[in-house]
Structure 1
Amino acid sequence: MRISQLEGKRVALWGWGREGRAAFHALHERLPGLSLTLFCPQAEAAAARAESAGALQVESAVTGEALARFDVVVKSPGISPYTPEALQAQAQGTQFIGGTSLWFSEHARADGRLPDTVCVTGTKGKSTTTSLLAHLLRAAGHRTGLAGNIGLPLLEVLDPQPAPEYWAVELSSYQTGEVARSGARPDVAVVLNIFPEHLDWHGSEQRYIDDKLALVTAGHPRVAVLNAADAHLRALQLPHSQVVWFNQPAGWHMVGEVVHRGAQPVFDTSDTPLPGRHNRGNLCAVLAALEALGLDAVALAPAVRGFRPLPNRLQLLGERDGVRWVNDSISTTPHASLAALDCFAGQRIALLVGGHDRGVDWHDFAAHMRDNAPLEIVTTGANGPRIHALLQPLADAGRFGLHAAGDLPHAVEQARAALGGQGGVVLLSPGAPSFGAYRDYVARGRHFAELAGFDPDSISAIPGLGVA
């Protein structure tokens, strides 16, 4: 659905975060006469009325009946379409779309194709991968847009002038279904991996997988770049797309620290700024995507040395009193925490885990702790007691020290004390979202930096967002 098709319809916005504000400004600019209603918490109502200069009718009570008054509801990504209120309104004919869908529709050609647009998703690594893709495209001299779930809503860059030659777009599982709903076909779609996450939003693990994979199963990209090491992806059948595999010997893959293209060694990643072996492996996905665009990926690979790592992703904040502080606040699954631990194998690590409880299973994490545990583990957050109980038998057997903390300041204090002044790494890799205690993972990472003695403002900016 294009923005022009909203004219004459009853339209509401649901959510007044950055995505909601971007949707309002895009719709109000294109259709200044369109009457808009906003559903948001009462605490945000005054700010919404002020920013919209009275152009919004604001309501705080979100019910199925209230939503059903509208033909179209443009919702923010964090709001699930599977809530009872949304399902009730959908049953009465209300259509729910997001800003991602509107952007895709605006940029698609008549045949639905989104030329020179690369969409990246995956449970882990998608932000670094998308940013790295944009970095290498720019290193090749191409004007490139970097936007999406990475921190810049697509509707904030609806019509940049001059237009970029390429778009690098990160999509979360909240947004991947928007591709199919928009009727647009990305030129290239990259899927890195699939692990259970966001089960509270999706309602079940299978629905999470289905929604995540909609980028390639329903979006029908020209080229689908897939991770051959992921069982969910290996099982896919995509008759409408050319499939390019990475992490397998015939394509782009890692041998030790060296990136190979088939049998050809291309680039030694050991001196690159990419944090963690999994991110170096995702360089293979980026290089495959560049080739899918018709570019010389072999020639571009060395430009990765100029890449600036993103904040909150295995981010080395610095050293204090012999202790290195690492901020991996974006870690929201146990698998992500395991990958973070692997980056510091053999070192004295105090690991901070726990946060919002989405019911994710931590048994696999506990199994890894039998043989690959850090020196100390500090549990915190709403799911901290559940993780703690699961790990207690291993701690009792002497595998590691185990501590419980009521909040992040207490967890940092426990971790610092547990290392005993003998040096090591304090690693915040929670394996869980920040909801409840913090607005988002960025706020959690900033607080961690502050508690560790670093300036939170200096560690927060995402480099390269927008069009450049």
Structure 2
Amino acid sequence: MLWADLAGKRVAVWGFGREGRAALDALALRLPGQGVDVYLGADEAESARAAYPHAVVHAVAPDAVALSSYDIVIKSPGISAYKPELLGAQAAGTRFTSGTALWFGGHAGTRSVAVTGTKGKSTTSALIAHLARSLGVRTALAGNIGLPLLELDDGEADLWVIELSSFQTSEALGVDLGVVTSLYEEHLDWHGSRERYVDDKLKLLAASARVLVNAMQPALLARAADHPGLNTFDDAAGWHVADGWIRRGPVDVLAVDRVSAPGLHNAINACAALAALELMGLDALAAAPALSTFVPLPHRLQPLGERGGLRWINDSISTTPLASLAALESVHDAHVALIVGGHDRGLDWTVFVEAMRVQAPDAILCQGRNGPRIADALEAAGVANVFRATDLAAAVGVARNALQGQGTVVLSPGAPSFDQFKDYAERGKRFAELAGFEPRAATIQGLGIL
């Protein structure tokens, strides 16, 4: 959709987070005088009226009747495209768009790499931007990673690196290279089913001239097999990890321990980034040494340091059981306490439970809304050292007692934060506080155009 399509129409913005505000700002810049209504929470109404005095503010959630009164609604990504009220209004003729769709509509021909995946998409996006900049390429880093595209609507860059969530992939258009890092079940409450989640996530393939996917995921590879521009990473012929090295085919390029972001999964993310650079015509071999100067993203296996004889690792962004397993595998310590649990989206923890039957850490702290369900499954499988805690603060206290001043405490919840916190960043900062550190701002270095 183009901005011109909104001119003179009945327009609403649904959501007043950063994406919603970016849409309001861009609308005022692109179409001065255009009327707009805003739907938001009651606690946001006062600030919205002060910041956007010309907008009509509705401090309620819109129903199908309200939505049907508009020609076009710009919705925030977190609002499911499958909500009954949205589908009802759509059937009545209301068109729905987003900041992402409007940005892509206005930037045809932009040199772009769009990255999605259940896990690894943020780090891979940031790595691509960091490596491209190490080669002197003026690069934009934006999207779901923390900077709405519309905040850079007038920016100019030689390369755009755009992270897309499964909520946004259907809104991409004219992408040079689409990267899919991984594919597991997630966000089932937004999409409604695993099948729909997979279908939505892989809509990026259709929007991309060329695609780059993880060769070690057969189901993903099969879905991408018919794409005429298919490329892979993490296979022996291309960029992959083997014997402690990042390799290009048979050639050792960089030792894994020189990659600043810890863990095997981050070395694989680095392979995805290097492969993407290569496909965009850049010198990946020359860029590879810059992997050692990359600043790891906060809340993603972030080493906080040592307090009380214990090491503390913040992996608050972990929202699937498989992510919790990956975090546990990346920690090389004889004594580990793992904190799991949070908002319950109904995900299946069977794989996690089976892995714990084979080898469990010193303590598994099950907390939050789905903590009891996880603990029940672990105990039913005969896993030892399972502890129950009402919330994150209690879990940290139990972890301290369990390790007795020796080992590593890992927060990798495998679940969203919404049962106790507004987002994963707030949860991660609270974990840092509980561990005895200053709350660390959830600031990702390198956002914007550099």
Normalised by the size of structure 2, how large is the TM-score? 0.98
The aligned runs of 1:112-261 (5 Å cut-off) are 115-160=110-155, 163-179=156-172, 184-216=173-205, 218-219=206-207, 221-237=208-224, 239=226, 241-261=228-248
Structure 1 counterpart of 2:249: 262
2:384 to 400, 425, 436: 400
Let me know the Cα RMSD of the aligned residues.
1.3
Identity over aligned pairs, percent: 52
Q: How far, CA to CA, are the matches of 2:82 and 2:194 in structure 1?
A: 14
8 Å CA contact 1:337–1:429 kept in 2: the answer is: yes
Structure 1 stretches lacking a partner, 5+ long: 110-114
Q: 1:387 to 1:152 in 2, by over 3 A?
A: same
User: How do residues 381-420 of structure 1 correspond to structure 2 at under 5 angstroms?
Assistant: 381-394=368-381, 397=382, 399-420=383-404
Equivalent residue runs for 1:8-407 within 5 Å: 8-109=8-109, 115-160=110-155, 163-179=156-172, 184-216=173-205, 218-219=206-207, 221-237=208-224, 239=226, 241-394=228-381, 397=382, 399-407=383-391
Following superposition, the deviation at residue 63 of structure 1 comes to: 0.4
Q: Gaps spanning 5+ residues in structure 2: where?
A: none
Residues 217-271 of structure 1: CA distance to partner in whole angstroms, max 9, x if unpaired? x21x122011011122111246554111111111111112211111222221212
AA paired with 1:304?
L
Residue 98 (structure 1) shift: 1.2
Contact kept in structure 2, 1:121 and 1:191, CA below 8 Å: yes
What SS does the aligned partner of 1:147 have?
strand
Deviation at 1:28, TM superposition (A): 1.0
Whether the aligned pair in 2 keeps the contact of 1:374 and 1:400 (CA below 8 Å) is no
Deviation at 1:8, TM superposition (A): 1.4
Q: Is the 8 A contact 1:49 1:58 kept in 2?
A: no
The alpha-carbon deviation at position 133 of structure 1 amounts to 0.6
Verify the 8 A CA contact 2:183 2:198 in the aligned structure 1: yes
SS of aligned partner of 1:270: helix
DSSP-derived class of the 1:456 partner: coil
Which residue of the partner structure matches residue 436 of structure 1?
419
CA contact (8 A) 1:13 1:74 kept: yes
1:403-433 deviations in whole A, cap 9, x for unaligned? 1111111111111111122x10010000000
For 2:204 and 2:413, how far apart are their aligned partners in 1? Answer: 27
Counterpart in the other structure of 2:446? 464
Tell me the TM-score normalized by structure 1: 0.94
Q: Residues 436-461 of structure 1: CA distance to partner in whole angstroms, max 9, x if unpaired?
A: 3111000000100011111113x532
Alpha-carbon distance in structure 2 between the residues aligned to 1:438 and 1:222: 39
Structure 2 CA distance for aligned equivalents of residues 258 and 302 of structure 1 = 13
| Deviating 4+ runs (over 6 angstroms) | none
Aligned residues: 450
